[in-house]
Structure 1
Amino acid sequence: MKLYSLKNISKKVKFLEAVKLGLCEKQGLFFPKKLPYFKKKEIKKILKMNFFEKSYKILNSFIGKEIPKKILKKIIKKSFGITFPKIKKIEKNISCLELFHGPTLAFKDFGARFMSQIIYFLKKKNKNKVTILTATSGDTGAAVANAFYKMKNINVVILYPKGKISKIQEKMFCTLGKNIKTISVNGSFDECQKLVKKAFNDKKLKKNIGLNSGNSINISRLLAQICYYFEAFSLLEKKNRKNLIISVPCGNFGNITAGLIAKSIGLPIKNFIASTNSNDTVPRFLKYNKWKPKKTISTISNAMDISVPNNWDRIIELFNQNKWNIKDPKYLKFGKVSEKQTKKSIKKLYKLKYISEPHAAVAYNVLKKEIKNGEYGLFLGTAHPLKFKSTIEKIIPVKIKLSKNVKKQKNIKSFSFSIDPKFSLLKKFLI
């Protein structure tokens, strides 16, 4: 598969090179020059396969001969062996796609574990040092840290906005030590993201420390996420597959990008909904045709507290490739949910006997507004409720039990450093 930089179309690379580089010059994201496509007969066959077989079929269509068949199958088993999607029925025509049954209780486990295995495969071929640098608004940090933990000669540096992620989220990646370094930044997630991008623009630094990205800006993470949309579709009853709409809680827009790619390569999903919290740059753009990011607002759905979503460029490119109109609601709907509405949705779901965390509640809220007669709706559950234990327990009368691992991590001292959002300070740390 050939990919090109969205900031320089003439810059073309193969899959493994794109994974190795992470981000191209001028902060350009990589995108496939041509997407594979599965015809209806092939889709029927894929839907009958188990999760590993499905994932191999999908990922191999992108990667091809760059990774030998046996090795790619091993990578997929290691990546997805403990991360399975599940469907939980909520109402007659609505279900939740639970993606939080992996080791760090968040959907990011799928992409992070696949990416770590690909980079480890590259590392064995090339013995240069590797530094994974990533910014997190909540769940990416734990998923990336867990995926790379104790990998030889691979260092991980994770930036996160100080005081703006839940305590449990923080403990899940700030207590590991070894090859995992964590930095709390006195600022927003967007400022963390800017620091990461500046590091990638520094060619000398990038070369000296073997810099790579752990965010969804790395193409390997994005491709891995396509797989669970196929699995979700196959888990639904056949009658519910017709007129399927999927509501995705959006922060950096990687998750919905993967879903739209799944639709582009043949999965018959009727529509997607981009659901955001008060950080509504994309909904405002789709409504008024003006790209005007505002200052990031802190919310209880903190992983979505992003005003400048990286993957939006990929969505624009995908729509251009497919000749879809970005403003046509038959391809993409959208909605914004306030804090008050988020809390109301958590209460409503509780009455329906479902304990939801804030991000899923945002997706559910917009889905309820948009779903029409004859349609079936899925909203994505991107994190386990226990990661937002203190928040949820203030909203609904429930006590959420901590798992053994979380209990253990809760009592371990955090190893985080702290810096102001200045690139000179990050560069000094990395060197």
Structure 2
Amino acid sequence: MKLYNLKNQSEQVSFVQAVKQGLGQQQGLFFPLNIPKLNDEQLAKWLQCDFITRSSYILSAYIGDEIPLEQVTECVKQAFNFPLVVRPIEENIASLELYHGPTLAFKDFGGRFMAQILAQIASNQPITILTATSGDTGAAVAHAFYRLKNVQVIILYPKNKITPLQEKLFCTLGENIHTIAIKGDFDDCQRLVKQAFDDEELKRLLCLTSANSINISRLLAQICYYFEAVAQLAVENRQQLVISVPSGNFGNLTAGLFAKAMGLPVKRFIAATNVNDTVPRYLSEGKWLPNQTIATLSNAMDVSQPNNWPRIETLFQRQKWELDELSHGVVDDRMTEKTVQQLASKGYISEPHSAVAYRILRDQLQDDEYGLFLSTAHPAKFKQSVDRIIAKTLPLPAALAKRANLPIFSHQLPADFALLRKFLFMHAT
């Protein structure tokens, strides 16, 4: 598999190189030179496969002969060892629940697959993983790489801008997991990560890579659950399918669009955001004007400069799709709360991100369409707000209960690259 740097197309790398590097020159994202295309017969055959087998085929179609299918399959077995559920909510709407993994969020798919792949290709070379999180990536990456030989993990997150239980899930591990509460917002964390990847000495001495959705291994892993969602739907519901994706850094939506480009029958996608609405405004007005990031109930989507957007624009250009085909919508906190309550009245306990995706899907779905919205995290990860909104007390799942009272090991830093650089040399060498 060959990938090229979106900011410097002359930089072309293998899949293995892209996983190890994370970002290309000038902070450029890697993008596949070729996107595998399925004909109707291949698609029908793949949709009849079990999740592990189909996911191995999907990933091998991108990876090629760099890693044998047998090894890819073993990585998938180890990474995707938990269920995903399509749960009907209304006659023409279902939820794709992606939070049944060990850290109760969709990020488990990408984080765990990347960990397995790195274990295959690292050859005992020490690696430092530097990543930023707006809430759920941190836990998925921390648990996927916890105690992994020759791997140090540094996770940046915005201080006081994720939920206490989100923080507990990845800041209580210690050992090779180093967490830093940055005095700023997620965009500040993301900027610091990009600066680190521009530092050639840092990259060389620490063998630096990233586990954000900017890393191609994580992104490709997320394609797999879109195929599984369609496979679980009744055949009649696969027609005129609309998928609503809660969007912050836009990696999840990027993966869905890759699935569509491969041939998965999705009529259209909806980019569902909170009031951090850079992309919806861009799609409506044609101007890229990020505002200051605003803290909301759906904190994992509090991103004003989404990293993955260049991949989406490139994909639309490559597929000769028009950007106005991408539906979009914005939901504020007041409507998010109301929607969580509405879903609860239907017997479905949701959290703010899923509620945003459901609200816009419900508002935009046509009579002849079938809608699927992504439930990206367990409601209990947002227990404080969900309990208040639905006036009930959610029980804590075991993964959260065993960490709820543990001490937090996080360091604190201002959004200053010089101080982060010093920290990296102290803790990753």
Shift of 1:222: 0.4
**Structure 2 residue 356 is matched with structure 1 residue 359:** no
Among 270, 287, 290, the alignment partner of 2:287 is 290
Shift of 1:111: 0.3
Residue 313 of structure 2 is matched in structure 1 by 316
d(CA) in 1 for partners of 2:398, 2:53: 32
Shift of 1:405: 2.9
d(CA) in 1 for partners of 2:391, 2:406: 28
Q: Work out the number of aligned pairs and report it.
A: 425
Residue 89 of structure 2 is matched in structure 1 by 90
Residue 62 of structure 1 is matched in structure 2 by 62
Q: Which amino acid aligns with 2:112?
A: R
**Structure 2 residue 173 is matched with structure 1 residue 176:** yes
**Structure 2 residue 152 is matched with structure 1 residue 155:** yes
- Note the 1:18-417 alignment, pairs <5 A: 18-82=18-82, 84-124=83-123, 127-327=124-324, 329=325, 332-417=326-411
Stretch moving more, 142-151 or 70-79: 70-79
Instruction: Map Cα deviations across residues 285-344 of structure 1 (whole Å, 9 max, x no partner).
Output: 0000000000000001000000000000000000111111112x3xx1000001111111
d(CA) in 2 for partners of 1:405, 1:233: 29
d(CA) in 1 for partners of 2:399, 2:101: 12
| 1:112 counterpart SS class | helix
Instruction: Map Cα deviations across residues 50-98 of structure 1 (whole Å, 9 max, x no partner).
Output: 000110111110011101222111111001012x210111111000000
Maintained 8 Å contact 2:102/2:399: no
Q: TM-score by structure 2 length?
A: 0.98
| 1:164 counterpart SS class | coil
Q: Which amino acid aligns with 1:237?
A: A
**Structure 2 residue 2 is matched with structure 1 residue 2:** yes
Q: Which amino acid aligns with 2:121?
A: L
- Kindly report the root-mean-square deviation, in angstroms, between the aligned alpha carbons of the 2 structures: 0.7
Maintained 8 Å contact 2:219/2:255: yes
Runs of at least 4 residues of structure 1 off by over 3 A?
none
d(CA) in 2 for partners of 1:295, 1:405: 34
Q: Which amino acid aligns with 1:350?
A: A
| 1:409 counterpart SS class | coil
Q: Where do 5+ consecutive residues of structure 1 fail to align?
A: none
| 2:323 counterpart SS class | coil
Shift of 1:397: 2.2
| 2:155 counterpart SS class | strand
d(CA) in 2 for partners of 1:405, 1:272: 32
Q: Where do 5+ consecutive residues of structure 2 fail to align?
A: none
Stretch moving more, 22-31 or 404-413: 404-413
d(CA) in 1 for partners of 2:203, 2:247: 29
Q: Which amino acid aligns with 1:292?
A: L
Q: TM-score by structure 1 length?
A: 0.98
d(CA) in 1 for partners of 2:398, 2:245: 29
Q: Which amino acid aligns with 2:417?
A: F
d(CA) in 2 for partners of 1:407, 1:396: 21
d(CA) in 1 for partners of 2:398, 2:346: 28
Shift of 1:112: 0.4
Shift of 1:123: 1.3
Maintained 8 Å contact 2:165/2:382: yes
d(CA) in 1 for partners of 2:336, 2:399: 28
Percentage of matched positions with identical amino acids: 54
Shift of 1:14: 1.1
Shift of 1:108: 0.2
| 1:81 counterpart SS class | coil
| 1:410 counterpart SS class | coil
d(CA) in 2 for partners of 1:203, 1:365: 45
Q: Which amino acid aligns with 1:266?
A: G
